[in-house]
């Protein structure tokens, strides 16, 4: 076996220190041969703001629009923007996202490029010119993008052409995340660098990583919740990212991210460049109160409340039997319906289905009469749920012990959750109905109301459907 003596080791260490000392901090910031330009490379070039590029596509038929190739008599066309994406953390791959201003942008777009990595030359904040001649603008997965047209689809600019189409300038903008609310998400904000304030990850996700759990196939999807409005959005993280194994922070705070759509264009998601975009420094979480008595082994024979909706008028709002049917936002509430086929109802069932309602927001409550837990022993709750694809919408089973029964005070009352109750998941087969389990309420006290609350995704054209039936509250 060969051995190093102490003198050899010392020489090796000195050599390593000497070599690393020659590497400057800015070697990756400004690579050799990429000095940057200060103005358009072609005199008299035609400037097309990002908003005009987007408008060029949106005003068409939905097919990709291709800019004329450069040539004699053809004017050079460019757009410009500041890079807000970074593949340094491995969460973006072969794409640049640019917006029209470092602060308070009005438009942004994705540029597909067959180059990796990008951050060493096209770093966060760098202003770039994009040559439009020969490129196409179209929509992919619900997001408008620039690239080469291939078979009707937007594909990447070839590696040997990237420097011809994406021209680095000398300017690095100070990017300021645009503060927005989840409730304000719309297509005009897509691809912009935004800040969501006073948010936290859902309490049921604590202890999980960003994207390295066994069920994370391509992306880890983690639910972010706003502590003021209760609105939520999915943070999507690539399973190829460098930080996929980091644990989610358990505090609350703000997150700087890019607004986009999920792969199937069903709902909005947000993506971070690196974990530094998550700034959760407030240790005070805003988790709801829980009434968690687990599941009971027996169900009493003393029925306190029940409804199978068979006496309701179909296509009308649920009424009577002590129900409070409250539409907090939008025009759609819990209504009776009947349906056959693969996605059949249980006779007559209740549902919320706001798709194509043109409502910017849908929040609907269906609340039982008061249930006295002090005068009844072994109280349990049972119900069944189904959905026709949740599509980013959400259903909760809540309880309140301080609501006074008036519609005007529903939103100001304290509503907690019943975590033991199973509610159909978007991953469940849409044609099946799922039992809640025999949810025990025996550890609660006083008089409570139980609410079935639907919250839409925020997309008026694609809100999901939740269905409810076979509700029974019993005591021993």
Whether the pLDDT of residue 71 is over 90: the answer is: no
Average predicted confidence (pLDDT) for the chain: 89
pLDDT at 21 over 50: no
Give this prediction's pTM.
Answer: 0.75
Only one residue has tokens 């994207």, namely 211
**CATH class of the domain whose range is 178-282:** mainly beta
Task: Give me the phi and psi of 275, to 5 degrees please.
Answer: -60, -20
Task: Give the model's pLDDT for residue 355.
Answer: 78
Q: 341: alpha, beta or left, given left = phi > 0 and alpha = psi -120 to 50? A: left
DSSP secondary structure code for residue 276 in this structure: G
Confidence band (pLDDT; 50, 70, 90) for 99?
very high
Domain boundaries of the chain, sorted by first residue: 46-172, 178-282, 302-475
Q: Taking a C-beta distance cutoff of 8 angstroms, is the pair 207, 247 a contact?
A: yes
Partnered with residue 46 across adjacent β-strands are 77
Same fold across 46-172 and 178-282? yes
Confidence of residue 458 (pLDDT cuts 50, 70, 90): low
What pLDDT score was predicted for residue 429?
87
3-state secondary structure of 404: coil
Question: pLDDT tens, 158-204?
Answer: 999 999 999 999 999 999 999 999 988 999 999 999 999 999 999 88
Least confident of 124-128, 143-147, 458-462: 458-462
β-pair partners for 110? 97, 145
Average pLDDT over residues 136-152: 94
CB 135 within 8 A of CB 109: no
Confidence (pLDDT) at 390: 64
Percentage of the chain with pLDDT > 70?
91
- Which pLDDT score is estimated for 464? 81
What pLDDT sits at residue 17?
A: 37
Half-sphere exposure of 320 (CA within 13 A, CB side): 9
DSSP-derived 3-state class of residue 31: coil
Q: Which CATH number fits domain 46-172: 3.30.1490, 2.50.20, 2.40.50, 2.60.40?
A: 2.40.50
Using the predicted structure, report yes or no on whether residue 25 has a pLDDT greater than 70. Answer: no
Model confidence at 42, pLDDT cuts 50, 70, 90, reads confident
Q: If pLDDT is split at 50, 70 and 90, which confidence band does 310 have? A: very high
Q: Is 361 exposed, middle or buried (0-12, 13-18, 19+ CB in 10 A)?
A: middle
- What's the confidence (pLDDT) of residue 57? 95
Place of tokens 């306190």: 304
Rounded average pLDDT over 206-235: 92
> What does the pLDDT read at residue 459?
65
Alpha-carbon span 437 to 423, nearest angstrom: 9
Q: 117: cis peptide before it, omega within 30°?
A: yes
User: Which tens digits make up the pLDDT trace of 223-232?
Assistant: 999 999 888 8
Res. 236: pLDDT tops 80: yes
CATH number for the segment(s) 302-475 = 2.60.120.200
- Bridge partners (DSSP) listed for residue 417: 290, 398
The pLDDT score that the predictor gives to residue 26 is 36
């Amino acid at each position: 076996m060969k051995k190093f003596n102490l003198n050899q080791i010392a020489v090796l260490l000195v050599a390593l220190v000497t070599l690393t000392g020659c590497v400057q901090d800015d070697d990756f910031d400004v690579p050799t041969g990429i000095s940057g330009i200060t103005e358009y490379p072609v005199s008299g070039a035609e400037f097309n703001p990002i908003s005009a590029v987007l408008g060029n596509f949106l005003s068409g038929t939905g097919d990709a629009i291709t800019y004329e190739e450069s040539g004699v008599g053809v004017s050079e066309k460019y757009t410009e923007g500041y890079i807000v994406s970074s593949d340094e953390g491995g969460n973006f791959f072969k794409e640049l996202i640019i917006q029209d201003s470092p602060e308070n942008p009005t438009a942004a777009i994705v540029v597909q490029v067959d180059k990796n990595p990008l951050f060493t030359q096209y770093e966060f904040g760098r202003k770039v010119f994009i040559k439009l001649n020969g490129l196409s603008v179209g929509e992919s997965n619900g997001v408008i993008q620039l690239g080469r047209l291939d078979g009707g689809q937007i594909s990447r600019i070839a590696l040997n052409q990237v420097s011809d189409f994406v021209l680095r300038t000398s300017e690095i903008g100070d990017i300021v995340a645009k503060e927005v609310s989840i409730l304000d998400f719309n297509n005009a904000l897509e691809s912009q660098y935004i800040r969501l304030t006073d948010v936290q990850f859902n309490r049921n996700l604590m202890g999980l990583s960003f994207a390295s759990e066994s069920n994370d196939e391509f992306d880890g999807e983690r639910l972010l919740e706003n502590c003021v409005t209760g609105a939520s959005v999915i943070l999507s993280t690539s399973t190829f990212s460098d930080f996929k194994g980091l644990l989610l922070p358990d505090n609350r705070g703000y997150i700087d991210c890019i607004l986009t759509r999920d792969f199937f264009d069903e709902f909005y998601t947000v993506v971070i460049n690196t974990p530094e975009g998550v700034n959760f420094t407030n240790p005070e979480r805003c988790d709801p109160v829980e009434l968690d008595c687990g599941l009971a082994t027996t169900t009493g024979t003393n029925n306190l409340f029940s409804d199978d909706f068979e006496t309701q008028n179909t296509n009308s709002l649920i009424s009577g039997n002590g129900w409070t049917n409250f539409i907090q936002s939008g025009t759609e509430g819990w209504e009776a319906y009947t349906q056959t086929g693969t996605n059949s109802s249980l006779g007559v069932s209740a549902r919320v289905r706001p798709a194509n309602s043109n409502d910017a927001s849908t929040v609907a409550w269906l609340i039982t009469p008061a249930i006295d837990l002090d005068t009844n022993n072994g109280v349990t709750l049972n119900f069944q749920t189904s959905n026709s694809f949740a599509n980013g919408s959400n259903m909760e089973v809540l309880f309140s012990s301080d609501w006074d029964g008036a519609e005007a005070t529903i939103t100001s009352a304290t509503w907690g959750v019943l975590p033991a109750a199973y509610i159909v998941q978007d991953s469940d087969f849409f044609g099946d109905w799922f039992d809640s389990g025999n949810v025990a309420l025996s550890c609660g006290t006083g008089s409570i109301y139980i609410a079935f609350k639907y919250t839409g995704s925020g997309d008026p054209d694609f809100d999901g459907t939740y269905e409810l039936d076979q509700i029974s509250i019993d005591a021993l």
